[in-house]
Chain A
Amino acid sequence: MKISAKWLKDYVDFEISGNNIDDIVHRLAILGFESEGVEHIKREFENFVAGKVLECVKHPNADKLSLCKVDVGTAVLPIVCGAPNAAAGQTVPVALEGAKVKDFVIKKTKIRGEESIGMICAEDELGLSDDHEGIMILDDGLVAGTPLKQLFGCEDIVFELEVTSNRADALGYLGFAREFSFMTDKELRAPEVVLEEAAERTAGNIEIEILDPGACPRYCGRVIKNIKIGESPDWLKQKLLAVGLRPINNVVDITNFVMLETGHPLHAFDLENISGRKIIVRKAKIGEKFVTLDGKELELNDRILMICDAEKPAALAGVMGGLNSGVTEKTTDVLLEVAYFNLADIRETVKFTNIHTDSSKRFERGVDPNDSEYVINRAAALIKELAGGDILSGIADCYPSQILPKKIELRLSRTEKVLGFKIDASFIVSSFNKIELAAEVKDADTLSVTVPTFRPDITREIDLIEEAVRLYGYDKIPELNISSIGLESNEDPDEELIDSLREKLRNLGLVETFSKSMVDGKYCAPFGKDPVKIEHPLNEEMNHLRNSLLLPLLLTADKNIRRKVGKINIFETGRIFYYDKGNIREKDSAAVLLTGIKSVQIWHTPETLYDFYDIKGIVTRLLNDLNVRSLEFSNENIPAYFDESQALNITSGGKIRGTFGLISKETAAVFEIRQPVFCFEASFEQINDMLSSSSTDLKELSKYPKVIKDISVLMPVSESADKVKEHIKKISGNILEDVCVADIYKGEQVGSGKKSYTFRMSFQPYEKTLSDKDIEKLLNKIINGLKNDLQLEIR
């Protein structure tokens, strides 16, 4: 809401200037009105004058331009003008040589060969509005050469205030001034209305009938006859312009002005167009047609509240008037409407029509039903003052059941309990009274507060407690500490696991990513799980929820490959979503992705690329770090989005606990990735299950030296290292601490179809030092075992 400091001064005698503006902005914020912007308006209009167009002919060399001779008082200037509405006889604003229009300075010039000294301006070029539909036409009564400063010059400070949605009252100057007067401790001066009524009575000229008093509890009408529609005086135009409204004509401007002043929207009808001289407030009929002021045709339904005459709808109640019922230049008799509508009904209309107006905005929040007389009289008096005419005697007021102020009790003890400190009762009473909450002491602990109908936001004690502390000053609230002793923990069980997993993955050199949960549904397909669709997505890139964490990781990989990032080693934790037997499931998951260059060539190492063993190593290390013992891998039932030939499931207790390996070519192609990508994915549930089935047994440390031995085994390429390892373990028994593949050789020396694996075994005795003989015996046993049982050749 825009508040002009100059206008505000009409109601509270307090000067806002460059000197105190920062302080005012701060104090308003503390009172609950944050400034979203402060604009210093200074319109000097130097070198701008009113001019008379003496002559206007077509430019000889340009179709769309005209040549004007303009009397600017001191001279008659030739001016080339591009506006289609320029004509002889007009009084227009002229920028003389040296005037600054927007960002350029007017100079003597030639346009298509014709001399031009000065410029005839449109409203936007004067900074008066955004209108650029043609040159602005001024009042013919102006003398040529009148400086525009006299007409439009002004200096003002305009605040753009945020008014929270509960505060309907502050959407009018008077309501805001009430708060401002409290803040500055200056008296609030509401304009006095002096009404001079004609003898003719309103009653015989308009009849009001409310068919839906629930939707429209009150409707007031007044008739003013014999008015003259014309331009508003400058003071009125300036006020509207200061807050960004375009002046239209005196009657419309007055309704806007009074709405801004009181916060209560009002509407003016041309009485001629109200057939039967009757207003009927009713819900629309299903299918009933209505054309709005701005020419939009609507087909209504029975939830839309309408203001109708004896025959037809005349306005969308509280939202917008109709095309054929409003005030025009020819209007002589007007019907003024000041009504109070039920908030929900206005919201219904706004929702249905999607029309948002200054009026609907106020009715939606709730206006004061009981200020209607003041509002309608204020507008009528102004109309008589500015447009002449006769105000008929009396208000046609239909108010079947009066809405009364509420009485709410406020306990001082409760206030102190909620706030944590005491506010004196006397302070509460006096400051409440300043903003017209009538408070009186009921007993030692209780205040009785009468809440005026302009504060519909206050409905219970807690609302009064808020008012008390707001007026006391949020800046004076003490800062008390709470005991940091933990209460019974409500810690989520996954929380610790998520963090420890993240820490371990990061320590493995991986980069953590954070992706949107929403994805393009086309990427969900490879991952099998039935994805969850978003009903009204912002765009196709966000029409589903991810059903796998591999999905965002693959998208991230693709984007980074395109950016020519060579090494991609990333992980993410977060939720995945999918349908399981018709129910939406959410699962916390973790995933890793490796692709591209593992290490670039540098003086101590050649370039290497990520391969299957890297993802296997990361998974093994991760699970080891998580204390998962006895890892089992299986190559059965690999999900289709992995390449079966290079992927394994992690299993325990016969259940799959996660999968890792090479992403299948088909899946990678969906993401337009053409290089090998290695991934791992498991849900926290799966990881947790592995943890619960493992326990840490500390190994005894031996006093005796460890012995390391290598044997090289020649075997068919189809044979797996695991099988040999298992056999070595079986033969050796407990003395074998570890066996691993130290070297792999394929090539001429071993012949085709064969490979040579060097197994490095470490033997750890616990009872004695192994003698050479012991070792030889052990080695022979192993070698014979491999030869005889597995038919392998030992090199």
Chain B
Amino acid sequence: MNDLNELKTRILDDIRSASDYAETEEKRIKYLSKKGEITLLFGKIKDIEPVNRKEFGQVINDLRDEAFEIINSLKEKYSETSSEDIDLTLPGKMPESGSYHPLNLVKDELKKIFRKMGFSVAAGPEVETEYYIFDALNMPSWHPARKVTDSLYVEKDKLLRTETSSVQIRTMEKGKPPFRIISPGRVYRNEKENATHTAMFSQCEGLYVNRGVSFSELKGTLKEFFKALYGKDTAVRFRPHYFPFTEPSAEVDVSCFKCKGKGCSICKKSGWLELGGCGMVHPKVLENVGIDSEEFTGFAFGLGIERLAMLKYGVNDIRDFTENDLRFLEQF
């Protein structure tokens, strides 16, 4: 009887080892077909002593049932189900897929483009001292942005950074030129929130300091960037502007990607989208971090990530980004 149980285990294990549909079918033929091993066992009942016959019969019956069960379940598993069982209209069994946040999608894209252009990604603290946010950046003490009520302070002389330019200062302080970095990250203002303003938003600032870096290269670099972002027909327009930390300074307009400069509702009929600020690093700023401003020049720029994302995805309210409504996020 022990032999029989051993046989049973061996057969069932052998069937279980079938690794695909074809192999399972082979096992079925091997054991359960007319000349299969199990089928043949039934022929042996007559050779068994009558006292053991009942038990023998029970065991092989069980064996046959279990073998069937295993084969059927394996076949189902390997699911080469016959064609008439397939309902082509039922939805597929989709693997689950997650999603990235739209702001990070844009940020990732910026990082990719700028890395290709030889920029590395730098980071720094979000809680900063006034020195790194204002003084080192040539912001006079009376500058409107320095009003205590316009920034979010956590202690005396400690506030949430209002620009990621602080990262530029820290990077320049630590090393020697050349530097070519971008610093994407969160920035903070004490600002009433509405559809276009939030107290926290994201910037991507860039800096390139070297011998012979010029304003024309700044324009060329931003044009390359916007071409990579919006397509090769994209044009860039510089408008004179004022920032304490750059000179000459410019605001950057990019030809509207929607109407190609003809004028539409997105660009408010102007054909241009205002997408950032930039300029040549003010000599004072270089001097503040101990770089010889006669030998080295540099350019810097800043782009608003929310603005780029709002334009890209047609989002009309900036607050949607931090609302984290899954019905919104799952669309990305």
Give A residues with C-beta under 8 Å from B: 29-32, 34, 164-167, 343-344, 347, 351, 417-421, 457, 460, 462-463, 465-466, 469-470, 474-475, 477-492, 494-495, 499, 502, 505-518, 532-538, 542, 545, 552, 556, 559-560, 563, 565, 567-571, 574-575, 577, 584, 586, 602-604, 708, 772
Given A511-B330, A559-B325, A565-B326, CB of A487 within 8 Å of CB of B123: no
B118 x A470 contact (CB < 8 A): no
B98 x A509 contact (CB < 8 A): yes
B240 x A470 contact (CB < 8 A): yes
24 CB contacts below 8 A, A to B, read A418-B248, A420-B217, A462-B282, A474-B239, A475-B237, A478-B220, A479-B220, A479-B223, A490-B120, A490-B171, A502-B100, A502-B104, A508-B98, A512-B98, A512-B104, A515-B324, A517-B188, A535-B152, A536-B152, A537-B152, A552-B324, A563-B326, A575-B126, A708-B16
Selected from A492, A534, A542, the residue in CB contact (under 8 A) with B154 is A534
- Tell me, rounded to whole Å, the shortest Cβ–Cβ distance linking A260 to chain B: 22
Stretch from B30-38, B46-54, B64-72, B172-180 at the A interface? B172-180
Distance, CA A567 to CA B237, complexed state (A): 46
B199 x A164 contact (CB < 8 A): no
- Tell me, rounded to whole Å, the shortest Cβ–Cβ distance linking B230 to chain A: 15
A residues less than 8 Å from B91 (CB atoms): 602
Chain B residues 189-216 with CB under 8 Å of chain A are: 190-193, 199-200, 208, 210, 212-216
Task: Determine whether B144 belongs to the interface, using a CB cutoff of 8 Å to chain A.
Answer: yes
Given A417-B297, A487-B180, A586-B127, CB of A462 within 8 Å of CB of B247: yes
A residues less than 8 Å from B160 (CB atoms): 517, 534, 545
Chain B residues 223-258 with CB under 8 Å of chain A are: 223-224, 236-242, 247-251
- Tell me, rounded to whole Å, the shortest Cβ–Cβ distance linking A282 to chain B: 22
Distance, CA A115 to CA B216, complexed state (A): 73
Selected from A30, A469, A570, the residue in CB contact (under 8 A) with B248 is A469
A residues less than 8 Å from B17 (CB atoms): 708
- Tell me, rounded to whole Å, the shortest Cβ–Cβ distance linking A705 to chain B: 8
Task: Determine whether B62 belongs to the interface, using a CB cutoff of 8 Å to chain A.
Answer: no
Selected from B153, B220, B242, the residue in CB contact (under 8 A) with A535 is B153
Selected from A470, A571, A586, the residue in CB contact (under 8 A) with B125 is A586
Distance, CA A536 to CA B323, complexed state (A): 23
A residues less than 8 Å from B154 (CB atoms): 532-535, 545, 584
Chain B positions 147 through 159: 1 when the CB is less than 8 Å from some CB of chain A, otherwise 0:
1110011110010
Give B residues with C-beta under 8 Å from A: 10, 16-17, 90-91, 93, 95-101, 103-104, 108, 116-118, 120-123, 125-127, 142, 144, 147-149, 152-155, 158, 160, 171, 175, 178-181, 186, 188, 190-193, 199-200, 208, 210, 212-217, 219-221, 223-224, 236-242, 247-251, 280, 282-283, 297, 321-327, 329-330
Most buried by A among B98, B99, B190, B216: B98
Distance, CA A463 to CA B154, complexed state (A): 36
A462 x B98 contact (CB < 8 A): no
Distance, CA A475 to CA B149, complexed state (A): 37
B247 x A466 contact (CB < 8 A): yes
B residues less than 8 Å from A563 (CB atoms): 325-327
Given A29-B239, A165-B242, A481-B221, CB of A506 within 8 Å of CB of B98: yes
A residues less than 8 Å from B99 (CB atoms): 506, 511-512
Distance, CA A505 to CA B104, complexed state (A): 14
B127 x A418 contact (CB < 8 A): no
Residue in chain A with minimal CB distance to B242:
A164
- Tell me, rounded to whole Å, the shortest Cβ–Cβ distance linking B111 to chain A: 8
Distance, CA A478 to CA B215, complexed state (A): 9
B residues less than 8 Å from A478 (CB atoms): 216, 219-220
Question: Given known contacts A420-B215, A511-B330, what 13 new A-B pairs fall within 8 Å (CB)?
Answer: A164-B242, A344-B142, A351-B147, A421-B214, A462-B247, A465-B248, A487-B180, A491-B120, A506-B99, A507-B97, A514-B321, A534-B154, A538-B191
Distance, CA A533 to CA B190, complexed state (A): 14
- Give chain B's interface secondary structure class: mixed
Residue in chain B with minimal CB distance to A165:
B242
- Tell me, rounded to whole Å, the shortest Cβ–Cβ distance linking A540 to chain B: 13
Residue in chain B with minimal CB distance to A485:
B118
A residues less than 8 Å from B192 (CB atoms): 538
Distance, CA A113 to CA B248, complexed state (A): 70
B residues less than 8 Å from A457 (CB atoms): 242
B326 x A482 contact (CB < 8 A): no
A residues less than 8 Å from B188 (CB atoms): 517-518
Given A462-B282, A462-B283, A511-B329, CB of A517 within 8 Å of CB of B186: yes
- Tell me, rounded to whole Å, the shortest Cβ–Cβ distance linking B296 to chain A: 11
B242 x A518 contact (CB < 8 A): no
B149 x A419 contact (CB < 8 A): no
A residues less than 8 Å from B97 (CB atoms): 506-507, 509
A residues less than 8 Å from B191 (CB atoms): 538
A167 x B242 contact (CB < 8 A): yes
- Tell me, rounded to whole Å, the shortest Cβ–Cβ distance linking A296 to chain B: 20
A residues less than 8 Å from B178 (CB atoms): 487-488
Given A417-B212, A487-B179, CB of A164 within 8 Å of CB of B116: no
Residue in chain B with minimal CB distance to A566:
B326
A residues less than 8 Å from B108 (CB atoms): 499
Selected from B98, B104, B117, B175, the residue in CB contact (under 8 A) with A484 is B117
B297 x A418 contact (CB < 8 A): yes
B residues less than 8 Å from A32 (CB atoms): 239-241
B236 x A479 contact (CB < 8 A): yes
Residue in chain A with minimal CB distance to B299:
A482
Distance, CA A482 to CA B123, complexed state (A): 23
Distance, CA A420 to CA B211, complexed state (A): 12
Given A419-B215, A479-B220, A603-B90, CB of A489 within 8 Å of CB of B153: no
Selected from B190, B214, B323, the residue in CB contact (under 8 A) with A420 is B214
Distance, CA A780 to CA B293, complexed state (A): 81
- Tell me, rounded to whole Å, the shortest Cβ–Cβ distance linking A573 to chain B: 9
Residue in chain A with minimal CB distance to B183:
A492
B144 x A466 contact (CB < 8 A): no
A343 x B149 contact (CB < 8 A): no
B residues less than 8 Å from A460 (CB atoms): 283
Distance, CA A510 to CA B329, complexed state (A): 11
Distance, CA A774 to CA B154, complexed state (A): 70
Distance, CA A492 to CA B104, complexed state (A): 17
B residues less than 8 Å from A421 (CB atoms): 214, 216
Selected from A30, A479, A484, A511, the residue in CB contact (under 8 A) with B118 is A484
A490 x B242 contact (CB < 8 A): no
B215 x A509 contact (CB < 8 A): no
Residue in chain B with minimal CB distance to A496:
B121
Which 5 residue pairs spanning A and B have beta carbons closest together? A420-B214, A420-B216, A32-B240, A509-B96, A164-B242
Residue in chain B with minimal CB distance to A533:
B154
A residues less than 8 Å from B181 (CB atoms): 490
B residues less than 8 Å from A481 (CB atoms): 217, 220-221, 224
B239 x A480 contact (CB < 8 A): no
B120 x A418 contact (CB < 8 A): no
Selected from A480, A502, A537, the residue in CB contact (under 8 A) with B214 is A480
B250 x A514 contact (CB < 8 A): no
B residues less than 8 Å from A474 (CB atoms): 237-240, 250
Residue in chain A with minimal CB distance to B149:
A536
B residues less than 8 Å from A508 (CB atoms): 96, 98
A417 x B249 contact (CB < 8 A): no
A532 x B153 contact (CB < 8 A): no
B123 x A494 contact (CB < 8 A): yes
- Tell me, rounded to whole Å, the shortest Cβ–Cβ distance linking A344 to chain B: 6
- Tell me, rounded to whole Å, the shortest Cβ–Cβ distance linking B24 to chain A: 15
Distance, CA A52 to CA B5, complexed state (A): 123
Distance, CA A480 to CA B299, complexed state (A): 13
